[in-house]
Every structure is written in C-alpha cells, then in structure tokens.
Structure 1
C-alpha cells in the first residue's frame, strides 16, 4: 500500500515530475509518500524561480540542473529521520548529504541536502540560496534574511538593490499565491 502511495505521490497530476534519478532514489529508499509530494512541490517552485532568474537576471550565474536536483532531494535525509516530516529537526540535513554521496551523487548535487536549512554557512553559493528560497516560499513563507542574501547577490550584478528587492518581492508574492494548492497536494499523502 505504501509503495503504491509513493508511486502516486511521484506521478499524480500536479507539480512537474522529479528528475528521474531523484524519483528512483526515493523509490529505492521506500520514501514516505508525503516526502515525495513535498519534494515535487519544492522542485516545482525551484523551476519557477530559475525560469524567472533566467529572464530577469541572466547573469546570475548558477547551475540550473544542480538547483533542480537539489530541490528534488534536499530533504531526502527524512527517509532516515521520518519524525522530521511532521516536526522540527535538522538531523536529516547531514544524513541526507551522506546518503546522497553513498548513492554516488556528486558532491555539487548532494550539497543541497546539507545547506538548505542554514544559508549562513561559509561555503554557501547562490545556487544554495535558490534551493533554500524554494524550500521556504513553496508554502508562502517569507524569510527576510534569506531574501536579502539573494538581493545582495543579484544587485552585485549591476542593478540597484531597491529594484532587485521589488522584482524579487513581486515574484515571491506571485509564487506564494498558489501555496494553499501546494499544501493541499502535499497533505493528500501520508507521512508513513
């Protein structure tokens, strides 16, 4: 039954499908269906953000494929720390990073499992910020400190910070408008 629910969470109409390798990893780990649904939603929002960035800030300089894979797997450590699917905790971050490395995922793709929850680490790049932002705004959560880091990076490319802030705010508001639908999609699938 759980395997069927996982398959449905990965394939039901709604958010775009996860990249094949990410979906295969979740299947091989018998991931909780709710986790698969969540990862599809964050992946969808990351795709929207990267599409917007490509249009509004083409010089932003990040690996879109890495961001999308990172969004699709950032919480994979919750397969080992299932209690963090419905409660607080950060043990899944390092666990997910190590799990992805064990499965042969290159470090530049696995890193997002480790960095998505703490964007103040010294080795954080712009791609890490985009995954972290997608992981917040999918449910319309706004984190001013994180958004400021994104604004700072984009403004350094030559646009006035106030303009970058306004443009980002507009895009995040647009994305956040669909949060109730995304939450309803996620909640259709059980935690275990």
Structure 2
C-alpha cells in the first residue's frame, strides 16, 4: 500500500514554478512523509542545480559532468532533515550523516547518497565537480555567495578557457540566479515545517 502523504507535502512537490524532482527522489520524500518545507527547499535547490548544469553544458561542454547525479543530489541533499526536523529552522549537521544512512538503507547507491554528506563539506579531497555543483546550488538558491566554493568550481571548469574568463562568466550566472532568491525563499516558506 502506498503511503498517504499530507496535502501540504503533495502541493510542495507539485506546485509551480520549480521543475519537478526526479521521480525516485519524489518517491522517497513521499514514502518518508517529508516535511512540506523540506520538499519545497529541495525543489528550489534542484531547480537551481538544473540551471547550473545547463550553463556548464553550454559553456564548458568538454567538462564531463554526471547530470543525473547532480540533479538527484540536489533533490535529496537534506533528506536527513526528515529525521532531524529541528534543523529545518535552526542550525545543525546531524541530518548529513543521518540522511546518508537513510538512503543507503533504502538501497540508494553511494554515488547518489554521498551528496547528503558532501553538500556541506565541499573541500574534501575526494569531492568531485558534481559535489561542487550541488553545494553551489545549495548556496546560490538563497543568494549566498561562497568565494572558496566558487573558486573550486572555476578550477574544475577552467580546462579549455582561462580561469579569469570562467570566473567572470560564472559570476554573471550566479548573479542572475541570486536575483531569483526572493521568489525561491517565498516558495519554500509558503509550506509548513511540519
């Protein structure tokens, strides 16, 4: 029997304007009866991640990026907040490892589950361009700029173009994305935490 989800969760997963989450991510959120605000947040970050990926594909087509992994990672990076709902409105990092464990227990492969841990720890040696793009989407959706993270993304993309040009182009994109932060925050905050 399929889980019954709240009306607010259903709306957070389907109301426009953000694009829909990947089906597997949406199913996980419904199965967990995720807080509606969490679902709205994940859609906002996922939407920004898709914009970043489109930009990378258009400006740096030679850079190999696992689009499916980035989109899924953006769609589930905070899923551990289902287990730590206080972190929806306050600080905390318990959701990172809890989310990873939750996903692995549900059979999500490590290549996708890892984003629950790496979205806030982008400086690790084993992080990839995919990790950096999910982290960047998780910052810029609300217009937060992280120069060190942006520098890592520039370094990953600067193969075929000078780093200064990649930086300027990325800065233009991030400025444009940041301009939509108020609408994304309003979308997220239109849904209850519980």
TM-score tier, shorter chain, comes to over 0.9
CA-CA distance at 1:164 after TM superposition? 0.6
CA-CA distance at 1:50 after TM superposition? 0.2
Residue aligning to 1:80: 83
1:4 to 2, 7, 10: 7
| Residues 5 and 30 in structure 2, CA contact (< 8 A), matched pair in contact too | no
Residue aligning to 1:160: 162
Normalised TM-score (structure 1): 0.97
- Residue aligned with 2:95, SS: helix
Q: Does 1:61 align with 2:60?
A: no
Residue aligning to 1:184: 186
Q: Distance in 2 between matches of 1:31 and 1:159?
A: 42
Structural mapping, 1:36-185, within 5 Å: 36-155=39-158, 157-185=159-187
Residue aligning to 1:24: 27
CA-CA distance at 1:83 after TM superposition? 0.6
Which has the higher mean CA deviation after the structures are superposed, 30-39 or 54-63?
54-63
| Residues 2 and 33 in structure 1, CA contact (< 8 A), matched pair in contact too | no
Q: Distance in 1 between matches of 2:125 and 2:81?
A: 24
| Residues 6 and 33 in structure 1, CA contact (< 8 A), matched pair in contact too | yes
Superposed CA RMSD: 1.1
Normalised TM-score (structure 2): 0.96
CA-CA distance at 1:2 after TM superposition? 7.1
Unaligned regions of 5+ residues in structure 2, if any?
none
| Residues 29 and 79 in structure 1, CA contact (< 8 A), matched pair in contact too | yes
Unaligned regions of 5+ residues in structure 1, if any?
none
Aligned length: 191
| Residues 8 and 191 in structure 2, CA contact (< 8 A), matched pair in contact too | yes
CA-CA distance at 1:166 after TM superposition? 0.1
Residue aligning to 1:13: 16
Q: Does 1:34 align with 2:31?
A: no
